[in-house]
Structure 1
Amino acid sequence: MQVTDHTVARRRVFYIPGYDPIHPRRYRELYRSEGADQAAVCGYKIALSPKQGPKSRGGRYGWHVDGAMDGTRTQADFEVLVWSDIVKTSMDLNIPQTYLVLARTAWTYIASGALRRLMWLRKGPVIAALYPIGMLLLQLLFAVLVAWFIGANVAKGVKLLVDWPLVARMLGWAVALGLIVIILRWFRKIDNKLFAYYLMHDYAYSARSKGEDPPELEQRMAEFGDEIAQALSSGVDEVLVVGHSSGAHIGVSVLADLIRAGLVDEDGPKLGFLTLGQVVPMVSFLPRAYRLRNDLKYLSTSDALTWVDVTAPGDGCAFALCDPVAVSGVAVEGKRWPLVISAAFTQTLSPKRWAELRWRFFRLHFQYMCAFDRPGDYDYFKITAGPETLQSRFKDRQPSKSRIDVAASPYTSVTP
C-alpha cells in the first residue's frame, strides 16, 4: 500500500546512536520516560511495549510504540542500529596510549587546517573538542607536580636518615613515578564525571584515519543498509532513519548507498531521514573524508527521501544550524536537502526548565529526543509515532533564517 502524504498507520524507525559505548536499553528508557512527559504536555497518548514480530529479525534491540494523536492511531517499530561494540573496542586503550592518541588527534586537526575552519562555524563544539585535550594535559600536570613535591620530600627525608644521596634520589623517583600512575588511574576512574577520556576517544576515532571510515565501521554500515532495505519492502507506510550526533554522518553514507543501489522504490514507503545534533563537520573537514563528502553531495540532491536536520544554538556539542552539505563545500545546483531548522531550546523550554538544563551540556545534546514543555513544530514523539510522514510534517517549513550555509571546509574533494 502506498501511503498518502498525510497518514501513517505503520512505521519502522531506525535509530543510529552517536559515539556511545552503553547498552541500547538507555534509548528505550529515554523514549519511555520522555514520551510520557511530552504526551502529558500535548494531550496525546503514547505507549511502549516489547518489540513485535520475530525476535530474530535483524537481531537488533528495539521496542514497539502505539500512538494516538490527532484522532489517528499509529504503530511504530523501533530498532537501534548498534555500533557500541566498535566504540568500546576503540576506547580500550591504556593511559599512555590515550596520551599518544591525544597528540596524534590534535596534530591531525591543527596541521590539516580543519581546526581553524571549524572555529569559523561554531566555537561550542570546537571547545568541546579541545576540552579533553586540555583536561588530560591538566591531569598529567597535576599528577607530575604532586608526585614531584612528594617525591622530593621523600628523598630529603631518606637523606636525613642515611647519608646515601643516590639511594635517596632513587627512592624519591620511585615514589614520584608510582604517584603519577596512581593519580592518573584515579582520574580515569572518575571519568564518568569528567568525560575527558570519553571525548578524547570520540574525536580520535575519526581523526586516526583523517576522516576515512574504518573497515569495521564500513562493514557495520553495510549491515545497517541491508536492514533498512528490508524495511523498505515490508509494506509499512514510512521508514524513518534517525541519526544523532556522530550517527548523523553514518546515516548519510548508509542512505546514500541504498539510494545509489536502487533500493528505494518510489512506489514504496516514504523514506525520512532525521538528523539531530549533528557533528558532520568534525569529520567532513578532514583531508581523507572523500566518501562522506561525496555522500553528502549525492544525498542533498536526491528526491528519494526527505532529510530534516535539527540542531539548536543551546547545544554546545553540535554544529548548530550549520548546513552540513554547504559548510562541507559540496553543495551543487539543484541541492534540496537538508532542511535545516532549529529546536530553539530558549523558546521551546520554559525559562525554569531552560535554567535547569542550561549548563548540563551533555544532557542538552540529547534534548532533541526529550520532552519540551513549550513545544514548537519539532516534536520527536509526533515525528516518530504520529500520523504524518516527515515529508508531510515539514513540507511547508522554511529553513532557519540564521542557518550557516557558506563553504568552510579546507577540503572539498569527493575523490582521492
Structure 2
Amino acid sequence: MADRVTSTRLVFHVGGYDPRSPERVHRRFVQELRRFEATWSVKAVASEPIITADEARWNLLTEGPNWRVKTDYRLVRWDDLIESSERGSLWRRIPRGVHAFTDFLAGGALGAYLRTNWRYAGFFLYPVVLLAVLVAVAVLVGVFVGRVSGVASAGILVGVAAFAGLIHWPGRWLHLPLLFDDWNFSRAYIKALDPVLDRRLERIAHEVVAAARDLRAEEIVLVGHSLGAVLAVDILDRALSLYPALGRSDTRVVLLSVGSSILKIGLHRGASRFRAALQRVANAEGVVWGEYQALTDVMNFYKTNPVACLGLATERSPVVRVVRIRRMLEPAAYRRIRRNFFRVHCQFVRANDCRTSYDYFMFLCGPLPAAVQIHSPTGAMSAIGSDGCLLDINSGEASFLERAERAAH
C-alpha cells in the first residue's frame, strides 16, 4: 500500500442565530462525527474544546486506508450576544422585533424577497402572522370572558393574561421570540450598532490573515451557515483589507456559504456597507466561494446567485450548488424532520446518513480539498471508495494548494 497522504486544514465555522453554548455545540459535533464515520467508512476523533471569549477550538484527526487529515476547527462565537438578548423581557423583545420587521419592510426587503424567492418571503412573514394569530386568540378570550362575566375590566385582564401565556407557550415552542430577536440583530448589524461584535469580527480577521501567512494549514475554510454566512463574508472582507494578497500567494482560502442569509441582509436598501463587502469578497482572486442551497430549506434563497441578485459589478461569482436534503438522510429520518423547518435548515451543518455531493464533515475533514469539492458536481463521492479509501491516490498526493489552483482555473 502506498504511504498515507497527510493533509492539514484550518476551519473557521460561523453558525447562524443560535444561542447554544460552545459546550453543547461540541457535544452535538462529536455525535454527528460518529454518523460521518459510518457513512464514509472512515475513522475520526475530536479533542476536547478550548473555549475563549471569541471562539471555541478543537482538533480533528480523520483517517482512511491511505489518507489522514488534521483539522484545526474554530467555532466563531456569538452565542453570548444572542444569549444576552434572550435575558431581556419578552415585553421588550417582541416590540423591538416588530420594529426591526417594519424597518425591513420600509427598506424594501419584502418586495425583494417576493421577487427573488417567495418561500423566503413566507418565512419573513411567519413571525408577524403568528403574532397576529396569538393576539387575535387573546382578544377573543378576553371578549368572551368580558361578556360572560359582564365586567369589561375582567375581560381585559384575562385577555392580557391569555396573550402572555400564548407568547410563552406555544409562542416559544414555535420560535417566535427567537425569530424576533433574529430580526432585531439583523437590523442592528445593518446599522452597525454592535461594537462588541465589530471588535470580535476584527480579531477573527486578524487570525485568518496570520494563519494564511504562517502556512501551517494547506487550506483555510470559512464556513458560514444561515446568518453566519453574512458574518463570514464580513470577516473575509476585513481580512482582505488587512492583507489584499490573501489566498493568492500562500494558503488557499475558501468561503463556504450554506443555507445562507446573505440576501436577507443584502436586499435591504440600507445594507450598502454589506453589499460593498460582498462585492470585494466576490472579486477576490485568492478566494474560492461555494454557495450551497436547498429547495426544502425555507430559510435560504433557493436557486439564486447572491452576487447577481444584488446587481454587483464583479468579474467573479460563487459556484452555486443546489442540493437535496432528502438525499442526505435515510427515508425514515427525513420523514421525522421534514416539517420542522429549523431542523431541515440545520442539516447543512450535520452529518449525512447517505453519501451525497454535499457533506459538511467531508468539507471539514475529508481528503479532498474544499475547493476541489466545490468545483466537482459530485463533490467527494467519486473519489472515496466503499472502504473509505482515496481512489485517485496520485491526485491525492498533490498538495491542497496545487489541486485548488487547478480547480479554480
Normalization by structure 2: what TM-score?
Answer: 0.83
Aligned pair 1:242/2:223, yes or no?
yes
Q: CA deviation at 1:119?
A: 1.1
Q: Aligned residue for 1:40?
A: 38
Q: CA deviation at 1:306?
A: 1.3
Q: Aligned residue for 1:402?
A: none
State how 1:38-77 maps to structure 2 within 5 Å: 38-51=36-49, 55=50, 60-69=55-64, 71-77=66-72
State how 1:73-84 maps to structure 2 within 5 Å: 73-84=68-79
Q: Aligned residue for 2:8?
A: 10
**Contact 1:233-1:268 at 8 Å conserved across structures:** yes
Pair 1:131–1:48, CA change in 2 (3 A): same
Provide the secondary structure at the position in 2 that maps to 1:193: coil
**Contact 1:310-1:321 at 8 Å conserved across structures:** no
Q: Aligned residue for 1:381?
A: 361
2 CA distance for matches of 1:238 and 1:230? Answer: 13
2 CA distance for matches of 1:64 and 1:193? Answer: 35
**Contact 2:43-2:64 at 8 Å conserved across structures:** yes
Provide, for residues 199-221 of structure 1, a one-character-per-residue CA deviation record: whole Å limited to 9, x for no partner: 12212322357x33323232221
Provide the secondary structure at the position in 2 that maps to 1:221: helix
**Contact 2:54-2:76 at 8 Å conserved across structures:** no
Q: Aligned residue for 2:293?
A: 311
Q: Aligned residue for 2:391?
A: none
1 CA distance for matches of 2:30 and 2:188? Answer: 37
**Contact 1:310-1:343 at 8 Å conserved across structures:** yes
2 CA distance for matches of 1:244 and 1:195? Answer: 18
Q: CA deviation at 1:366?
A: 0.6
Q: CA deviation at 1:244?
A: 0.6
Provide, for residues 110-140 of structure 1, a one-character-per-residue CA deviation record: whole Å limited to 9, x for no partner: 3332201211222222212211111112112
1 CA distance for matches of 2:80 and 2:51? Answer: 19
Which of 21, 25, 28 is matched with 2:26 structurally?
28
Residue type at the aligned position of 1:324: P
1 CA distance for matches of 2:51 and 2:325? Answer: 39
> What is the percent sequence identity of the aligned residues?
23
**Contact 2:134-2:167 at 8 Å conserved across structures:** no
**Contact 1:10-1:76 at 8 Å conserved across structures:** yes
State how 1:233-312 maps to structure 2 within 5 Å: 233-234=213-214, 235-262=216-243, 264=246, 266-312=248-294
2 CA distance for matches of 1:320 and 1:70? Answer: 37
Q: CA deviation at 1:103?
A: 4.0
**Contact 2:212-2:250 at 8 Å conserved across structures:** yes
2 CA distance for matches of 1:142 and 1:348? Answer: 39
Q: Which has the higher contact order (CA 8 A, sep 6+)?
A: 1
Residue type at the aligned position of 1:259: L
More displaced stretch, 365-374 vs 186-195: 186-195
Residue type at the aligned position of 1:187: L
Q: Aligned residue for 1:410?
A: none
Q: Aligned residue for 1:160?
A: none
Q: CA deviation at 1:387?
A: 2.2
**Contact 2:303-2:322 at 8 Å conserved across structures:** yes
More displaced stretch, 351-360 vs 252-261: 351-360
**Contact 2:57-2:75 at 8 Å conserved across structures:** yes
Pair 1:314–1:265, CA change in 2 (3 A): closer
Q: Aligned residue for 1:148?
A: 143
**Contact 2:101-2:183 at 8 Å conserved across structures:** no
**Contact 1:8-1:389 at 8 Å conserved across structures:** no
Residue type at the aligned position of 1:362: F
Pair 1:353–1:398, CA change in 2 (3 A): closer
**Contact 2:247-2:287 at 8 Å conserved across structures:** no
**Contact 1:14-1:240 at 8 Å conserved across structures:** yes
Which of 326, 329, 336 is matched with 2:311 structurally?
329
Residue type at the aligned position of 2:349: M
Which of 101, 105, 119 is matched with 1:110 structurally?
105
2 CA distance for matches of 1:394 and 1:110? Answer: 35
**Contact 1:105-1:207 at 8 Å conserved across structures:** yes
Larger Rg: 1
Provide the secondary structure at the position in 2 that maps to 1:274: strand
Provide the secondary structure at the position in 2 that maps to 1:377: coil
**Contact 1:73-1:387 at 8 Å conserved across structures:** yes
Alpha-carbon RMSD across the aligned residues, in angstroms, is 2.5
2 CA distance for matches of 1:265 and 1:101? Answer: 40
Normalization by structure 1: what TM-score?
Answer: 0.82
**Contact 1:31-1:369 at 8 Å conserved across structures:** no
Residue type at the aligned position of 1:230: A
Pair 1:208–1:133, CA change in 2 (3 A): farther
Q: Aligned residue for 1:178?
A: 157
Q: Aligned residue for 2:166?
A: 187
Q: Aligned residue for 2:384?
A: none
2 CA distance for matches of 1:184 and 1:8? Answer: 59
Provide the secondary structure at the position in 1 that maps to 2:83: helix
Pair 1:180–1:220, CA change in 2 (3 A): farther
